[in-house]
Amino acid sequence: MEIVWQTPANPPEAKDYVRRNGRRFVRPYYFEFISHVKNRWAGKTIVDMFAEEFKGRPYEYFVSAVKSGRIQVDGQIVPITYVLRSSQKISHFLHRHEPPVMAWDIPVLHEEQDILTVCKPASVPVHPCGQYRKNTVVGILQAENGLAPLFPVHRLDRLVSGLLIFARTADKADQLRQQIEAGLLQKEYIAKVIGVFPEGEQVVNVNVNYNAREGVSTVEAPDQSNSLPLKGKTASTRFTRICTNGHHSIVLCKPITGRTHQIRVHLKYTGHPIANDMLYLSNSATIRSSQGMGSDRTARSAASRATYMPGFIQEELDLMGGHSNPAEEFNIDPMCTHCPNLAPTGYDGLEEGLWLHCLRYSGPGWSYECPYPSWATLSCQPR
């Protein structure tokens, strides 16, 4: 079989996707990952570096990949004892399996010459990041609607749904980003939280400190007994209860600043966290590095695996049409550590989107909004 290696320059196509049981998969494909030797990698052997930095595959895989030329340095096959030097180019040619996302469509809400707005489904990242390249809002819109290029004006976390604004030109994107930087945009979200949220506008002004390694934010409130400076960034959010049924409340959230997970941790700070936010419902967030996966997924992975993993292989075969030969969906790679499954090892596909939804963005002379999600309807009256 002749292998065709893809790079970021290869656009996604409609035929790349497979929908099964409410999930959207990407057919695995051959891809060249390119990176350059970081200072902390220099002086290590090529195999040891990969084994230490990329723990998702066994040591033996990296030995075989180097020997076979699937891992190269500066375009050359090297021995497994090769010692890396700073700034060298490393190419990793592998059979790429992307994580699944929910199979909802991405409806276009508003389209004009220089602006496109869509309703982003939960679980789908906005643009290529980490293990996602084609299973992204940008990739799906290009593959299924021919919409390209698109320039995201703002971002939404992968598990958050709602309004997403794209510029159709780089100039328009710069114009809107300048409005964001100047504080001219108003953002509105809705969230479903635990308990009876207080009446009247509640303003939270506490710093948010994001730990990028662990993927978790914490809040830092001023402490008069401690003169040490706060590490987090200033953050402010305004909350107003829309309605409550005594058990949950629908809350309008207006972030004044835009810190990572700001609404989520500020709601937790009020004592009313988002009702299905497994990362912030507990006082001790599960650490991402302990499991080698995103913290939102890690927070629920232990319970999910206990009941799901025994049937994982069979379900994946069922997802591919009930065939025992996955080659009917894609070519099996003998060196791949994820084949014959469509999804990478460790992605169970049981994620639930957060009950947090971007409702409206407005700026000087313009406003765009997104319909309410189904979970935002409570059997309650405004109180």
What phi-psi label fits residue 377: left (phi over 0), alpha (psi between -120 and 50 degrees) or beta?
beta
Helix (H, G, I), strand (E, B) or coil at 354: coil
DSSP classification of residue 85: -
Cis peptide upstream of residue 344 (ω within 30 degrees of 0) = no
Q: How many CB atoms lie within 10 A of CB 132?
A: 19
> Which two structure tokens, joined as six digits, stand for 310?
């025994």
379 is written with which tokens?
Answer: 């059997």
Q: If you search the block for the tokens 């040490």, which residue do you land on? A: 228
Contact 264, 274 (CB under 8 A): yes
Give the CA dihedral 37, 3, 137, 328, nearest 10 degrees.
Answer: -140
Residues 3-40, buried b or exposed e (16+ Cβ, 10 A)? Answer: eeebeeeeebeeebbbebeebbbbebbebeeeeebeee
d(Cα 257, Cα 314) in Å, to the nearest integer?
Answer: 46
Residue for token pair 């982003």: 120
Helices 46-53 and 59-68 sit at what angle, rounded to 10 degrees?
Answer: 140
Q: Are strands 89-96 and 29-36 parallel, antiparallel or unpaired?
A: antiparallel
Q: How far is CA 316 from CA 48, 105, 187, 261, 343, in A?
A: 32, 22, 40, 32, 8
* Cα diameter, the chain: 70
Buried/exposed code over 296-318 (b: 16+ C-beta within 10 A; e: otherwise): bbbbbbeeeeeeeeeebeebbbe
The residues annotated as belonging to the active site are 157
Q: Please give the structure tokens belonging to residue 317.
A: 């075969």
